[in-house]
Structure 1
Amino acid sequence: MQIKKTAVLIVFITFLYNCESPIPENQKPQIIPMPMLTESTQGEFVLDNSTGLSFDDNFKISATFLKEFIENGSAIQLQQNNKIRFIQDNAIANDEGYQLNVSPKQIEIRAKTDQGAFYAVQSLRQLLPANFENGSFTSKSTAIPCIIINDAPQFQHRGMHLDVGRHFFSVDFIKKYIDALAMLKMNTFHWHLTEDQGWRIEIKKYPKLQEIAAFRDQTLIGSYDPDQQAFDGKRYGGFYTQEEIKDVVAYAQTRHVTIIPEIEMPGHAQAAIAAYPELGCTGEQVKVAETWGVFDHIFCSKDETFEFLENVLDEVLELFPSKYIHIGGDEAPKTHWEKCPNCQQRIKEEGLKDEHELQNYFITRIEKYLNSKGRQIIGWDEILEGGLAPNATVMSWRGTDGAIEAAKQHHNVIMSPTSHCYFDYKQSDNEGEPLANSGGFLPLEKVYDFNPIPEELSGEESKYVLGGQGNVWTEYIPNEKQVEYMVFPRILAMTEVLWTSTENKDYADFAARVENFHQRLDALDINYANHLYEVEGEVVPAGYQLKSILDNKTIRYSIDGTEPNGTSEVYSGAIPIDKDLNIKAAVFDNDKKLGATFTQPINYHKALGKKIRINAQPSKTYAGSGIDGLINGITGSDTRVNDKEWLGFDGIDLEITIDLGEEMTISSIETRFYEAPWMWIYAPKVIEYKFDEHGTGSKVEIPESQDTHANIKIDLNATTRYIYLRIPNSGLIPEGKSGAGHKPWTFIDEIIIN
């Protein structure tokens, strides 16, 4: 440790001597992800036709990348000299760490490995003008500011996922995706290659996977709601040949990106079963799935299935040199296993307790096979069912419970919870946003707030958290431009979460760097979502508060629904709520409007800002703005339950008390409930109300709705201080419906007291 500190000190003394005194803080580099340590100093290095590279074969990939980036991006042609030097430094502890030292006379890149040097090159890349990215830099020289960077990642697994089963994307796009990961110092691409809706990898031993499993007859359009489904009637599909996969894997290696393939089992297998019906439990001919969701047709546990899977994996292993193979393991209904003679015989022969232990047997058997080939498995957190396979790594997506359980058992964990890592969720409430998974809402700031280490883990247990990744499921992402729109800029937040230490993170500073990074994304022809110039709002004790991500911009607003312009009132503090408001606001740079208009109607009613109690807390995932949000004057989204206003309760009878503070005459009580049976969400059948805690209540039936909302208005003529509401859960989900036999969710919106 002392040697390392001394080496860093020498580097700093040397470059402080060359570059003189530090420059102002506001000129610090705009690098994403933020490095561990940066020191900007006076002076600049001039990159021109006199500049040369020197490196040995240990740094061939990183040096070649830098040479091609400069020469393809500009009119500059590099020579062979020592102005840019790659130096192997075994004193750097982290294999992915590096030191980048820019002085007026030379640039030094120090690293233990080529991978570390490659990340130094990516930082240097971001110090160059953005138009190097597309070859439009026409000058024969450019200046790079003097800087010292000492850097290493916080986590070893920094990944992005892409589902190509629901929608298929070209080899060229996959390479572009890998390029983006490399630029942002991500080292893993999780390639989700098989699904119910399509099998995307050529397996020579089983040609029907290419002929049948890779194509579906038609595709769902729009909403997944079974009562509103429509289809395009067009055959859809495709697959990657083994030669194409070899090409992509080789390409990724030149970017120090490891590709982890995912071959789903035992669930999400309907496409394979459509090609080979004998792999399922029923033997019936099924179609490649045309809708989204979870399907009962999963791989049977008979020996013939394992022979198929082992043969498939043998070909996969030839294509992918990765240490890990992802085997899925998620969302595998046991409906067919419960009735299958082969599966029941397997349970009996192996002394298993039930179908959940059969899943453990299935995963463990595949793990043993892959271990025998020198590989390890990763599975989604459902592989914990029935016991965890001995050497498995768990990818935790259903919150953090799976990760906590696995880490406490001393299994490696990769964090990918829906709450912070699902980039198929909407990122803005703006009108015009593309159709997205309705299960969540994930704005940029929430991604940035992600902490991959669950607080429930001890320091020793947290060592088993390898890192995390962002997931891109493509049910509602039919083309490459939309993939980019959903990924960028949230991937910028994810890479900073995984690379940058917590003490170096600052969201306001990050947002400013994202604004600067837009120029690079433009040059790369990446279709990013720009929500930096949006206004956000919330009810606070003083009224309604507006805020912008960027500190150096102005918010102008109106309260009467008038479109804000350069002469509208400048926001300076919370807006009082003493009447109905229709707030409209926008971000301005001087008099220039930069972003979309924010609109928030507020319905002033008698319970607004009063006290409210409830007998249970909402789910953490669907907590909205808390129970006070039920009487804050704001109505929830018409299309999403995961917003700031809807509160979700899992199978609970609700009891709510509203204290108006004094006796008031009230004429009505209004509210509404979400109705989405395919999501296990049902409106209650009745609502009970009373004004005396110990009195007898009145019961009102809630009208059935053919829409996604059930509305109730109770007309009254009463004087009271307290309002007591009881809202029973609607009861068990009926047979034949998704979630049959379970208690459904109840989602409630604003309670309006007039």
Structure 2
Amino acid sequence: MKIQLYFKLLLITFFLGCTSNTSKPVAVKIIPKPNHLKINEGTFILNENSIISVDEEFKEVSEYFKNYVLEKFEINLPKDNGGHIIFEKDEELINEESYELDITENFIIISAKTKKGAFYGVQSLLQLMPFETNKTSIAIPCVAIKDAPRFSYRGMHLDVSRHFFSVNFIKKYLDLMAMLKMNTFHWHLTEDQGWRIEIKKYPKLQEIAAFRDETLIGHYSDIPHQFDGKKYGGYYTQEEIKDIVKYASDRQISVIPEIEMPGHSQAAIAAYPELGCTGKQVKVATKWGVFDEVYCPKETTFQFLENVIDEVVELFPGKYIHIGGDEAPKTRWKNCGHCQNLIKKEGLKDEHELQSYFITRMEKYINSKGKKIIGWDEILEGGLAPNATVMSWRGTNGAVEAAKQKHDVILTPGSHCYFDHYQSDNENEPLAIGGFLPLEKVYSFEPIPKELSKKEAKYVLGAQGNVWTEYITTPEKVEYMAFPRAVALSEVVWSKKENKNYKDFIDRLTYFFKYLDAKDVKYANHIYDLKGNLVNKNNKILYELSNITDQKIYYSLSDENMNIEYKEPILITNTTTIKAGVFDKNKQKLGQTFTQNINLHKAVGSKITINVAPHKSYNSGGKEALINGISGNNKRFGDKEWLGFSGEDILITIDFNKPENIKTITTRFHNGNGQWIYAPESLYISFNNKEEIKFPVENYGELLVNFKESFDEKNIKNLSIRIPNYGIIPEGRQGAGFKAWTFIDEIIVE
């Protein structure tokens, strides 16, 4: 304890004691996990006699804490020079976001170099306070914490263009970020489907670009597309934006606006058609995807964007403007005389370099306003703008490339940071864009790619969770999709790598849910979900069940009564259905019932080889997933049973444990063309290394394409299935010009 605190001790002239209405001290389970934490004996009693003493620099933070205590517990904390709750400046702390929190029976001392650090000390303190609000005295456990973040950029994103959310909800979102010590809010404000920021110089952006005629119903992959016929939209006035930015700043959160360019700009072009290459009137997009309408790199377009930026920079005091730069088709540019002349005039190689020219020019203007740009990793294509920060979303390759060029990078790969993906393989999960990103995978994320040297790794600023809202229509669903995955990410970007432990995190998260309950957050709770895995061990087919908690598992085989305690892997001798659940000590079921159908067909347990590895984002089950007796999800195609291949021809070989007689071969493909996934038009089968036989794939227009063929083959030792890739996606479709993906499910041999 510092010398001045001893002097303050002399100023304490009254007794702080427990009353009959004192809360019980809470468990010490802080998220994100502090770097150094020691739990000591005793409690500090906070009540109306507790006095706050504040360094002037931390006045705003102390007011935040004082208002929290007043609103939650109706305890009005007085202020004085001598106090029991002390906000103290400590210049010796190196990191501006670091803090020390010392709680003894007599004092709470928050030491920090800046108000950011003091604020984070308060957030840890609030997690040491109870959930109930009917107490006049609050018992706070005595701890000593020394803490600092691992990364300087700790972000959450929210897309308000696909679906619009109120000012009040944005503030709630910011409050939840603040709890988690997140410091950056990436606000996605413009898109093909809606322009959400008031620009006074261009009123048609509010009148036209902010509203679409109707909205797609169901999933983009559903054929035919259906629409609701209802006008939809809205925008934030500049006064509302100022209010939100101030609210965020009070919580030490910087707001980064995203103003998309040159792609994802159909809404703006709908308002001002001269911004496009054709000059023709278009409408604000009513469905999702990537559209050909992009800004034409004309002087009038640059003047428009510069005028927009002039108003944007006045609203957002942070150092960054996000300019998008992703998914900008070159179709219009290829057919535009002005664009082709500009390519020749500037000595550019192609349309990709034209995009780099576009981004570099806008970066120069934004830099002149004292701001830096961030762009999605497509801004690397054609050459990276000189001072740009890259946000790497298509895996980590963009981050590696940019860091090696000595550019700052922020990691937000779809594989670990896209919270619009499904988080459970339960078929009753609410509709999402696709993919599969469970909580554990978020927690496992390592933001520094292994390809970077220690010197290059310094360019990694941190990571961000993204919430795209094509299929997220309400605040409640935003919360469901974002939490608790955002909680896991907060620990990824704050806590030391060596301090992370998923089982320990789950223990603390179970407790943290009480804080989310108190804030009426409609989070997803999959903690008690079971995992299942079929294994072949010593020529026996076994099914393993597991759960991250320490609760017991009970199961049944082909009936509803889960009365067998799970103690070891279940022997599978025939086709069966396993039902299982997690139960507490009173045998009350926690969470949902786990159901798994197992089809013990002839290929289960055989050896399988594939000529190419599935894409790492769609290979969680490994190649054995194709012959493990378990079919993939009927509604979603990113679970561990579906394997995804990016553009390759596939050759699958199954070597049976003993010669088999084969009557049928059944499999199925996903045909989600809106997600660049195409079923093959035919496949080739051979037995015992003999000549291939070609078979057409039926029902080609369906979302799920089934293949079933009958045979009369005897004494088959091996089976080969060759699946040609669909090829290049045609013009006019999503992903045009790129090779299609192939998604395949269980290969059933009977």
TM-score, normalized by the shorter chain, greater than 0.5: yes
Check if 1:128 corresponds to 2:129.
yes
User: 2:17 — aligned with what?
Assistant: none
Q: Deviations over 1:654-703 (max 9, x none)?
A: 2222111222222222211222222222222222222232x323222221
User: 1:95 — aligned with what?
Assistant: 96
1:250 is displaced (CA, Å) by: 1.0
User: 1:60 — aligned with what?
Assistant: 59
| Distance in 2 (alpha carbons) for counterparts of 1:592 and 1:226 | 39
Q: Which runs of 5+ in 2 are unaligned?
A: 10-24
Would the aligned equivalents of 2:221 and 2:703 in 1 still touch at CA under 8 Å? no
Amino acid corresponding to residue 250 of structure 1 in structure 2 = K
Match runs of 1:661-676 below 5 Å: 661-676=657-672
| Distance in 2 (alpha carbons) for counterparts of 1:173 and 1:740 | 37
User: 1:207 — aligned with what?
Assistant: 203
| Distance in 1 (alpha carbons) for counterparts of 2:673 and 2:241 | 40
Q: Which of these residues, 150, 161, 180, is aligned with residue 184 of structure 1? A: 180
Match runs of 1:35-74 below 5 Å: 35-74=34-73
Check if 1:465 corresponds to 2:460.
yes
1:714 is displaced (CA, Å) by: 2.5
User: 2:653 — aligned with what?
Assistant: 657
Q: Which runs of 5+ in 1 are unaligned?
A: 1-5, 15-25, 132-136
Check if 1:503 corresponds to 2:504.
no
Q: Which of these residues, 345, 351, 365, is aligned with residue 341 of structure 2? A: 345
| Distance in 1 (alpha carbons) for counterparts of 2:327 and 2:575 | 46
User: 2:15 — aligned with what?
Assistant: none
CA pair 91-606 structure 1, distance change in 2 beyond 3 A: same
1:121 is displaced (CA, Å) by: 0.3
1:431 is displaced (CA, Å) by: 3.5
| Distance in 1 (alpha carbons) for counterparts of 2:217 and 2:695 | 38
User: 2:22 — aligned with what?
Assistant: none
User: 2:447 — aligned with what?
Assistant: 452
Secondary structure of 1:541's partner? strand
1:414 is displaced (CA, Å) by: 0.4
Secondary structure of 2:591's partner? coil
User: 1:104 — aligned with what?
Assistant: 105
| Distance in 2 (alpha carbons) for counterparts of 1:595 and 1:297 | 46
| Distance in 2 (alpha carbons) for counterparts of 1:242 and 1:152 | 35
Check if 1:306 corresponds to 2:307.
no
Would the aligned equivalents of 2:681 and 2:700 in 1 still touch at CA under 8 Å? no
CA pair 679-75 structure 1, distance change in 2 beyond 3 A: closer
Match runs of 1:267-278 below 5 Å: 267-278=263-274
| Distance in 2 (alpha carbons) for counterparts of 1:413 and 1:215 | 34
| Distance in 2 (alpha carbons) for counterparts of 1:739 and 1:264 | 19
1:319 is displaced (CA, Å) by: 0.6
Check if 1:557 corresponds to 2:555.
yes
Q: Deviations over 1:334-377 (max 9, x none)?
A: 11011112211211211111111110111011111111111100
| Distance in 1 (alpha carbons) for counterparts of 2:244 and 2:141 | 35
User: 2:476 — aligned with what?
Assistant: 481
Secondary structure of 1:317's partner? helix
| Distance in 1 (alpha carbons) for counterparts of 2:737 and 2:186 | 35
Q: Which of these residues, 700, 707, 718, is aligned with residue 702 of structure 2? A: 707
| Distance in 1 (alpha carbons) for counterparts of 2:427 and 2:699 | 28
Check if 1:116 corresponds to 2:114.
no
Instruction: Report the number of matched residues.
Output: 723
Q: CA RMSD in A?
A: 1.8
Q: Deviations over 1:530-588 (max 9, x none)?
A: 1112111112234111111212x111111114253xxx111111111221120111111
Q: Deviations over 1:710-729 (max 9, x none)?
A: 22223223112212222222
Secondary structure of 1:130's partner? coil
| Distance in 1 (alpha carbons) for counterparts of 2:735 and 2:692 | 32
| Distance in 2 (alpha carbons) for counterparts of 1:655 and 1:214 | 49
Match runs of 1:433-448 below 5 Å: 433-438=429-434, 440-448=435-443
User: 1:134 — aligned with what?
Assistant: none
Check if 1:333 corresponds to 2:329.
yes
Would the aligned equivalents of 1:684 and 1:746 in 2 still touch at CA under 8 Å? yes
Amino acid corresponding to residue 56 of structure 1 in structure 2 = D
User: 1:84 — aligned with what?
Assistant: 85
Secondary structure of 1:165's partner? coil
| Distance in 2 (alpha carbons) for counterparts of 1:397 and 1:234 | 32
Secondary structure of 1:284's partner? coil
Amino acid corresponding to residue 512 of structure 2 in structure 1 = F
Amino acid corresponding to residue 341 of structure 2 in structure 1 = Q
| Distance in 1 (alpha carbons) for counterparts of 2:727 and 2:337 | 34
Check if 1:411 corresponds to 2:411.
no
| Distance in 2 (alpha carbons) for counterparts of 1:457 and 1:734 | 37
1:27 is displaced (CA, Å) by: 9.1
Would the aligned equivalents of 1:28 and 1:40 in 2 still touch at CA under 8 Å? no
Match runs of 1:552-631 below 5 Å: 553-564=551-562, 568-590=563-585, 591-631=587-627
1:428 is displaced (CA, Å) by: 1.1
Q: Deviations over 1:499-538 (max 9, x none)?
A: 0111111111111111111111111011111111211111
Check if 1:747 corresponds to 2:743.
yes
Deviates more, 1:716-725 or 1:442-451: 716-725
Q: Which of these residues, 117, 141, 146, is aligned with residue 145 of structure 1? A: 141
Would the aligned equivalents of 1:603 and 1:633 in 2 still touch at CA under 8 Å? yes
Would the aligned equivalents of 1:61 and 1:118 in 2 still touch at CA under 8 Å? no
User: 1:528 — aligned with what?
Assistant: 523
User: 2:384 — aligned with what?
Assistant: 388
User: 1:684 — aligned with what?
Assistant: 680
Deviates more, 1:121-130 or 1:644-653: 644-653
List, as ranges, runs of 4+ consecutive aligned residues in structure 1 with deviation greater than 3 Å. 730-743
Check if 1:289 corresponds to 2:297.
no
Check if 1:169 corresponds to 2:165.
yes
Amino acid corresponding to residue 351 of structure 1 in structure 2 = G
Secondary structure of 1:313's partner? helix
Amino acid corresponding to residue 279 of structure 1 in structure 2 = L
Secondary structure of 2:84's partner? strand
Secondary structure of 2:721's partner? strand
Q: Which of these residues, 402, 421, 424, is aligned with residue 420 of structure 2? A: 424
User: 2:19 — aligned with what?
Assistant: none
Q: Deviations over 1:65-94 (max 9, x none)?
A: 111111211132213341011111111111
1:252 is displaced (CA, Å) by: 1.0
| Distance in 1 (alpha carbons) for counterparts of 2:75 and 2:708 | 72
| Distance in 2 (alpha carbons) for counterparts of 1:499 and 1:571 | 37
Deviates more, 1:504-513 or 1:538-547: 538-547
User: 1:719 — aligned with what?
Assistant: 715
1:169 is displaced (CA, Å) by: 0.6
| Distance in 2 (alpha carbons) for counterparts of 1:140 and 1:146 | 19
User: 1:19 — aligned with what?
Assistant: none
| Distance in 2 (alpha carbons) for counterparts of 1:499 and 1:560 | 46
Amino acid corresponding to residue 601 of structure 2 in structure 1 = H
Would the aligned equivalents of 2:289 and 2:734 in 1 still touch at CA under 8 Å? no
Secondary structure of 1:310's partner? helix
| Distance in 1 (alpha carbons) for counterparts of 2:737 and 2:498 | 47
| Distance in 2 (alpha carbons) for counterparts of 1:635 and 1:68 | 54
Secondary structure of 1:629's partner? helix
User: 1:30 — aligned with what?
Assistant: 29
Q: Which of these residues, 208, 219, 222, is aligned with residue 218 of structure 2? A: 222
Normalized against structure 2, the TM-score is what? Answer: 0.94
Amino acid corresponding to residue 554 of structure 1 in structure 2 = K
CA pair 58-686 structure 1, distance change in 2 beyond 3 A: same
1:606 is displaced (CA, Å) by: 1.5
CA pair 725-431 structure 1, distance change in 2 beyond 3 A: closer
Amino acid corresponding to residue 29 of structure 1 in structure 2 = V
Would the aligned equivalents of 1:669 and 1:715 in 2 still touch at CA under 8 Å? yes
Amino acid corresponding to residue 449 of structure 1 in structure 2 = S
CA pair 172-609 structure 1, distance change in 2 beyond 3 A: same
